[in-house]
Amino acid sequence: MDKASGTTTFWFLKPFLLPSSFFLAICLRRRRRRRIKKERIFNSAVRLDTIGVDQGRGIVMSSPSKRREMDLMKLMMGDYKVEMPNDKMQVFFVDFHGPKESLYQGGVWRVRVELPDAYPYKSPSIGFVNKMYHPNVDEMSGSICLDVINQTWSPMFDLVNVFEVFLPQLLLYPNPSDPLNGEAAALMLHDQSAYEQKVKEYCRLFAKPEDVGNSPEDESSDEEMIENEYDSSDEQMLGKPDP
């Protein structure tokens, strides 16, 4: 019984008799909580995207340096020989074996890898140290022409992808239409047998497993040897004048 008004009000009806402003305040508070929750989720997603997420494996990296350490560790666990001149892990060398069923089978190349500060959001710099005869590899600098590294790199890729997929594909399927070595591209297009012979000759002289990591002087002597061999073969084709 409501003594002031002389009416009877049951206790379970009292919540429904509260002022409308009270219910409005509750609705606004719930809406504000939902908005704050959404903002927190969004900010967390942005933060994770900033520090780095390996989307392919669902692994969150705390910093680019942690990602470099993990990718390098995975590479070393994959039976690749890795040599680091210092402890910064941004520049190191990897021994790469020519893929099976290719012209480069049996050869071993020392590959220089440089990881930029923005890795894995920026692609690594890859180059062969010892000489390779390939349309898409510069013979002097060892730099490579490969779209997946130079243009279409993604943070989903790692160093294992480079050595188990990208480089083998480069050696198995050369592209003479976009060359870094114009001579190799022209020879491949016009004389396939001569091209294959020269590739194997470079492998024999510059990619012997026991000679990986030799000094530049050793490589220069091998280069002179191959030039002399091809010069002598050219002289035989032209014919030497009788004395």
**Which residue is associated with the tokens 């073969």?**
233
Amino acid at 105: Q
Closest CA to 127 of 160, 90, 167, 179: 167
Cβ of 109: how many Cβ atoms within 10 Å? 23
Cβ of 119: how many Cβ atoms within 10 Å? 22
Catalytic residues: 145
**Pairwise CA distance, residues 120 & 118, whole Å:** 6
Amino acid at 198: K
**Which residue is associated with the tokens 């390996």?**
54
Amino acid at 194: A
